[in-house]
Structure 1
Amino acid sequence: MRGRQTVRDMVLSLAVIGVVVAAVYFFIPHDDSQSAQQNAVKTVDYRVEVATARRAAPYAVAAPEGLPKTWRATSVSYRASEDGKGGAWHLGMLDPEQQYASIEQSDAPARKFIQDVTLGASKVQGEQAVGSKKWDRYQGDTYRALVRTEPGVTTVITGTAPYGRLADLAAALVAKKG
């Protein structure tokens, strides 16, 4: 008889815990809406950082101009290198569909830089026309990317956004030296 009481007590205890969990779920406010998910990611102002990077970088730093307000900057950084080569500019954004896209630039050796910022993506067939310029396409397990290598700088537009959105971001880029 003693064994049945412990099983019965355990089932009753689990039922009481279930009632408490249900009450917490239903009576404590929570927001699962799309706007709550969008507001969970902090938007940053990158104007000061882009001006600083343009003064410090040995190449013309590219930043978007004229993108709709539905594009939101979420991260920004410029990391200078000790020897004046290999400085890296980063601007991370969310596109209107909440997909990630970033601008990555560096004067470091292109091959390693591209592998690092695209998380190992490989070059695929075809190019993406952006205005009058052609960008190489890369595809990986995590990110896709558009890559343009010019003398002294490699620019990578990478992220989870589709190629069309990456091309929209690339088209908005204006490269300036400060």
Structure 2
Amino acid sequence: MVLSLAVIGVLVGAIYFFIPHDDSATAEKSAVQTVDTRVEIITARRAAPYPVAAPEGLPKGWRPTSVSYKASNDGKGGAWHLGMLDPEQQYAAVEQSDAPAKQFIQDVTLGTDKIEGQQAVGSKKWDRYQGDTYKALVHEEPGVTTVVTGTAPYGRLAELAAALVAKKG
């Protein structure tokens, strides 16, 4: 048994040594692909029954990594998603829907709970949510709930929320 473990150890060591890998910070940054969001934003703004919020004028270093709009069959509950990495490589996402707010918030924030205090973002007050994995800022308006959520700190989430411009296409 010891001989078998030694052979496996040598094999694993050889594989690690001879197979190229890059552990640098640039490798981590390039591991997640950046996506072009222009077409999806235009399409979502035309299809959604609410003004779709997308960031404009974010500082350099923010990168969009995922984007989607899923319409519902009944015209209610359409969901907009824009996932991003902030300059420190933390995840932040814009989530919007006209579905019932309580369930939508729980789904997109991975079960966070509302906490005390609000975050001022421009002229609006956003509710704060905190969970084991995600933090979130939530703004409810008639007909649409906007959630900015992710692993990024509240300051970065507020920076993303402040850059949001809601438009109907």
Indicate yes or no: 2:152 matched with 1:124: no
Structure 1 match to 2:146: 155
* Residue deviations 1:97-142 (CA, integer Å, cap 9, x gap): 1111000000111111111111111110000011111100011112
Indicate yes or no: 2:64 matched with 1:64: no
Using a 3 Å threshold, how does the CA distance of structure 1 residues 16 and 113 change in structure 2: closer, same or farther?
closer
* Residue deviations 1:21-45 (CA, integer Å, cap 9, x gap): 3233223221111211111111111
In structure 2, C-alpha distance between the alignment counterparts of 1:26 and 1:79, rounded to whole Å: 45
Indicate yes or no: 2:42 matched with 1:51: yes
Identity of aligned residues (%): 82
Letter in 1 for 2:160: L
Q: What CA RMSD, in Å, does the superposition of the two structures yield over aligned residues?
A: 1.3
Q: Report the structure number with the largest CA radius of gyration.
A: 1
Structure 1 match to 2:105: 114
Indicate yes or no: 2:120 matched with 1:136: no
In structure 2, C-alpha distance between the alignment counterparts of 1:14 and 1:84, rounded to whole Å: 60
Indicate yes or no: 2:22 matched with 1:35: no
The 3-state SS of whatever aligns with 1:21 is: helix
Point out where structure 2 has 5 or more consecutive residues left out of the alignment.
Answer: none
In structure 2, C-alpha distance between the alignment counterparts of 1:33 and 1:113, rounded to whole Å: 38
Residue 50 of structure 1, CA deviation = 0.5
Residue 55 of structure 1, CA deviation = 0.4
Point out where structure 1 has 5 or more consecutive residues left out of the alignment.
Answer: 1-9
* Residue deviations 1:9-65 (CA, integer Å, cap 9, x gap): x54554444334323322322111121111111111111000000001111000001
How many residues were matched structurally?
169
In structure 1, C-alpha distance between the alignment counterparts of 2:15 and 2:112, rounded to whole Å: 44
Where do residues 78-117 of structure 1 align in structure 2 (5 Å cutoff)? 78-117=69-108
In structure 2, C-alpha distance between the alignment counterparts of 1:12 and 1:115, rounded to whole Å: 52
Structure 1 match to 2:13: 22
The 3-state SS of whatever aligns with 2:166 is: strand
In structure 2, C-alpha distance between the alignment counterparts of 1:95 and 1:11, rounded to whole Å: 48
TM-score (ref. length: structure 1): 0.90
TM-score (ref. length: structure 2): 0.94
